[in-house]
């Protein structure tokens, strides 16, 4: 009985992965490297499972906090436990350290991966079965040097992508309108989404959002700071383009508040915000229950987290707006997976093999690690 196998190994890497460009968002910038924490769980039969905590200090929290949550607080309640007790382990992890949702996502990913590998089932099968074999991919346009992004547009167009998300609100309104006009004119085949990452000042937010809405993007995401929920509700009421919540909604608790206050028409769902794959599914179902749409968002992730998100979305029919797992293909100088994260004709391909489907290359984790514990 594989469910009776005990977890005997717990390894954590804090890595810094080099990136190929600068990305500016309303809440901050990323340049040179992204900090990503990896977890490996080993079962007594010899199988391993991997998870990833992709933090961003200005958004979800720091990589150092993810590392400490796993290494110091979560490790003692995992080692020696049985794989079949996944729900109990996750419930204990939710109590032993507050927040640190990325660490909890890494833990659940690794538990599902090792169980899937032992039982020869893909992670999506452990999450209820799948509803799709591929997911439309959106790539973010977020370089302060727009010419560099135009070269990225040519590359993703040739690769078959047909969705972009324009990151706005980090420079000035004229820069946002100029880019929207240019993208609409030169790339009519692309669906455009807009994401402010909380970047607008409350005094001018409504006017600027309405200007941007005249370009008829699919949706406009999180124009104002996460806690300004009444303002989100006001903008939603005044704007005809759907308003998405991202930073305002981490897990199911925030989703309930968003529903009660009517702050959005849809929600960006990320396993790194919700604290795991099953909690992400809960957020999607809560949204769908009241007629809200859902999008598969992500952080600055590597391939392990992309795979976890892919399996989650593959088993969650309520997430209908595609995903943004572009970093492994278009942002990292080198991903950590043993074979490439698979994107074909603009769609992420859902793995059919056991566990997450692809394991990381441990030599790469060691190479990029500056702290490691076991």
- Cβ distance to Mg ion smaller for residue 113 or 195: 195
Q: Burial level of 311, CB count in 10 A (0-12/13-18/19+)?
A: buried
CB 170 within 8 A of CB 25: yes
Distance CA 154, CA 58 (A): 30
- Cβ distance to Mg ion smaller for residue 23 or 130: 23
Positions that interact with Mg ion (CB under 5 A): 195, 221, 246
Read out DSSP for 282-351? HHHHHHHHTT-EEEE---S--HHHHHHHHHHHHT-TT--S-B---HHHHTBSS--BSSPPPEETTEEEPP
Smallest distance, Mg ion to C-beta of residue 300, A? 12
Q: Which residue is nearest to Mg ion (CB)?
A: 246
Q: H-helix or E-strand containing 229?
A: helix 229-238
Smallest distance, Mg ion to C-beta of residue 297, A? 6
Smallest distance, Mg ion to C-beta of residue 244, A? 8
Distance CA 13, CA 365 (A): 7
Smallest distance, Mg ion to C-beta of residue 197, A? 5
Residue 11, phi then psi, degrees to nearest 5: -115, 140
- Cβ distance to Mg ion smaller for residue 195 or 347: 195
Q: H-helix or E-strand containing 252?
A: helix 252-261
Smallest distance, Mg ion to C-beta of residue 195, A? 4
177 — alpha (psi -120 to 50), left (phi > 0) or beta?
Answer: alpha
Tokens of 250: 């981490």
Smallest distance, Mg ion to C-beta of residue 94, A? 24
- Cβ distance to Mg ion smaller for residue 59 or 124: 59
- Cβ distance to Mg ion smaller for residue 66 or 197: 197
- Cβ distance to Mg ion smaller for residue 41 or 213: 213
């Amino acid at each position: 009985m594989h469910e009776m196998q005990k977890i005997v190994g717990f390894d954590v890497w804090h890595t810094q992965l080099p990136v190929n460009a600068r990305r500016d968002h309303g809440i901050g910038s990323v340049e040179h490297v992204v900090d990503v924490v990896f977890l490996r769980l080993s079962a007594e039969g010899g199988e391993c499972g991997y998870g990833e905590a992709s933090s961003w200090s200005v958004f979800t929290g720091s990589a150092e906090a993810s590392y400490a949550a796993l290494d110091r607080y979560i490790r003692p309640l995992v080692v020696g436990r049985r794989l079949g007790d996944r729900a109990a382990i996750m419930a204990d992890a939710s109590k032993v350290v507050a927040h640190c949702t990325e660490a909890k996502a890494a833990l659940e990913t690794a538990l599902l991966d090792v169980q899937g590998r032992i039982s020869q089932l893909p992670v999506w099968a452990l999450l209820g079965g799948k509803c799709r074999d591929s997911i439309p991919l959106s790539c973010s346009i977020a370089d302060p040097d727009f010419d560099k992004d135009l070269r990225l547009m040519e590359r993703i167009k040739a690769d078959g992508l047909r969705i972009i998300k324009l990151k706005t609100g980090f420079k000035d309104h004229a820069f946002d309108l100029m880019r929207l006009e240019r993208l609409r004119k030169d790339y009519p085949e692309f669906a455009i989404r807009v994401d402010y990452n909380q970047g607008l000042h409350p005094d001018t937010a409504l006017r600027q959002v309405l200007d941007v809405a005249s370009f008829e993007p699919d949706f406009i995401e999180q124009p104002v700071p996460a806690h300004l929920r009444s303002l989100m509700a006001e903008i939603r009421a005044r704007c005809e383009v759907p308003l998405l919540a991202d930073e305002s909604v981490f897990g199911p608790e925030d989703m309930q508040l968003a529903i009660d206050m009517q702050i959005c028409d849809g929600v960006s769902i990320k396993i790194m915000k919700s604290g795991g794959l099953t909690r992400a599914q809960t957020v999607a179902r809560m949204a769908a229950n009241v007629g809200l749409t859902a999008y598969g968002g992500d952080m600055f992730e590597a391939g392990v987290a992309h795979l976890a998100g892919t399996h989650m979305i593959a088993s969650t029919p309520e997430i209908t707006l595609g995903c943004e797992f572009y970093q492994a293909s278009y942002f990292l100088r080198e991903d950590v997976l043993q074979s490439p994260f698979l994107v074909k004709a603009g769609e992420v391909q859902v793995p059919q093999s056991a566990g997450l489907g692809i394991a990381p290359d441990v030599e790469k984790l060691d190479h990029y690690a500056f702290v490691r514990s076991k």
